[in-house]
Amino acid sequence: MFFKKLFITLSVLLVLLFITSLAKAENSQNIYFFYGLGCPHCQIVENYFQENDLYSKYSIEKKEIYFNRENAVLYNKILDQLNYSQSNRGVPTVVIGDKVIVGDKPIIDNFIIEADKNLKASAGISKEESKPKNLNLTVFAVVGASIVDAINPCAFAVLIILMSTILVIGNSKRALLAGIAFSTSIFISYFLMGLGLYKAFEIGGFSTGLFKFLGWIAIILGLLNLKDYFWYGKGFLMEVPISWRPKMKALLKSVTSPIGAFFVGFLVSLFLLPCTSGPYIVILGMLAEKVNQAKAIGYLFLYNIIFILPMLLITFAVYKGFDPNKAEEIRQKRLKVLHLIAGIILIAMGIIILLGWI
């Protein structure tokens, strides 16, 4: 057992070292041209770039910030990281490595000099190789966090209790309908809660500092899950509080129909919040800082589909004759492993946020 835990610990460390090494591999050759539609000074810079064929000579990324919220967020994020004064920000702006140039004339006078310096700073890398590698890991973060919630032991537990109850008082078909109804209500409840929190974050504003704080929260949650792998049950447990469980079980065992399962799902979602809300809040903060509302809704839909997928799989397995008691036995044996997987994913996600990859 000692060697097994030692192996797991070393594996986690290797994952973290791999992520850190990727961060070091990123070069500082990103050249951003931030502009606004209708800005005459921006057009002067655009004409200069085109007339001198600079787009083919350098890896320049054009980012419109007046009407594109994602680009505006990126603009402020980069300048925050470079400690560039808020009062001096505007368009056109060019960012070359850690050099910020604002205004048409300063850009025209200094662009080639600074761009060549930037290339020389990464000696041995050709212009084609120097094209910036944008690690847009938003979708991977959403999928990763939703997997953490999907494999959460408490989410499995409530469904297994529900299925066992329905089978005692009904039949497999009723259990199937009850499981689908329960999973659907969980989806609706979490989707609406997520949308509400996203709007609250968006309206309240989301600074880069607060976003980094969420990265640390993800790492802390990951470490707590690792704790539950090595020392399960000691201290704070990343599951439904033990004092809540009798009430939750009584609520689930009161269900006698698919309609009842649907409405109980909304109530049970409140019991699940303590052990499932952590990754969700991190993702919601990321979406509020990163994407517009249309994309956020799409990501929330994807997140919650993945979240309820294991519930639906267990439901169909029970319908096909799988014993819910056997499912609970498997769940109990795999509790620590599920916490281990959740811990590794959350720590990786936190590091990715802190490195600014999303």
Q: What are the φ/ψ torsions at residue 153 (nearest 5 degrees)? A: -55, -35
Is 315 found in the same domain as 258?
yes
Strand partners for 61:
32
pLDDT tens for each residue of 202-221: 776 655 567 678 788 888 88
14-18, 39-43, 85-89, 350-354: range with highest mean pLDDT: 39-43
Picking from 78, 93, 121, the residue at the C-terminal end of a domain is: 121
Summarize the confidence of residues 32-39 as an average pLDDT: 95
Is 156 found in the same domain as 86?
no
Is 165 found in the same domain as 79?
no
Structural domain span for residue 223: 138-354
Instruction: Lowest mean pLDDT of 24-33, 153-162, 248-257, 346-355, name the range.
Output: 24-33
Q: pLDDT value at position 237? A: 61
Question: Measured between alpha carbons, how far is 261 from 289 in angstroms, rounded to an integer?
Answer: 36
Is 311 found in the same domain as 165?
yes
Residue 68 in any domain: the answer is yes
Is 275 found in the same domain as 164?
yes
Is 172 found in the same domain as 106?
no
Question: Measured between alpha carbons, how far is 259 from 267 in angstroms, rounded to an integer?
Answer: 13
Is 159 found in the same domain as 289?
yes
Percent with pLDDT over 90 in the chain? 20
Which one is predicted more confidently, 1 or 49?
49
Residue 58 in any domain: the answer is yes
Nearest alpha carbon to residue 91 among 125, 136, 41, 51: 41
Nearest alpha carbon to residue 149 among 261, 304, 349: 304
Is 83 found in the same domain as 161?
no
Question: Measured between alpha carbons, how far is 110 from 94 in angstroms, rounded to an integer?
Answer: 10
Residue 11 in any domain: the answer is no
Nearest alpha carbon to residue 58 among 78, 30, 34: 30
9-23, 177-191, 309-323, 334-348: range with highest mean pLDDT: 177-191
Contact by Cβ (8 Å): 225, 238: yes
Is 157 found in the same domain as 103?
no
Strand 99-102 and strand 93-96: the pairing is: antiparallel
Q: Which amino acid is at 295?
A: K
Instruction: Lowest mean pLDDT of 87-96, 116-125, 271-280, 337-346, name the range.
Output: 116-125
Place of tokens 């009798």: 246
Percent with pLDDT over 70 in the chain? 75
Q: pLDDT value at position 208? A: 59
Q: pLDDT value at position 122? A: 58
Which pLDDT band, with edges at 50, 70 and 90, does 1 fall under? low
Which pLDDT band, with edges at 50, 70 and 90, does 134 fall under? very low
Question: Measured between alpha carbons, how far is 307 from 146 in angstroms, rounded to an integer?
Answer: 5
Is 146 found in the same domain as 117?
no
CATH assignment at residue 72: 3.40.30.10
Residue 349 in any domain: the answer is yes
Q: In the structure encoding, which two tokens stand for residue 90, read together?
A: 């505007």
Residue 308 in any domain: the answer is yes
E-strand spans in 138-199?
A: none
Question: Measured between alpha carbons, how far is 243 from 237 in angstroms, rounded to an integer?
Answer: 12
Is 142 found in the same domain as 117?
no
pLDDT tens for each residue of 218-241: 888 888 888 888 887 676 665 655
pLDDT greater than 60 at residue 13: no
Strand partners for 95:
32, 100
Structural domains in the chain (count): 2
Residue 250 in any domain: the answer is yes
Is 203 found in the same domain as 332?
yes
Residue 8 in any domain: the answer is no
Residue 326 in any domain: the answer is yes
Contact by Cβ (8 Å): 228, 238: yes
Which one is predicted more confidently, 128 or 8?
8
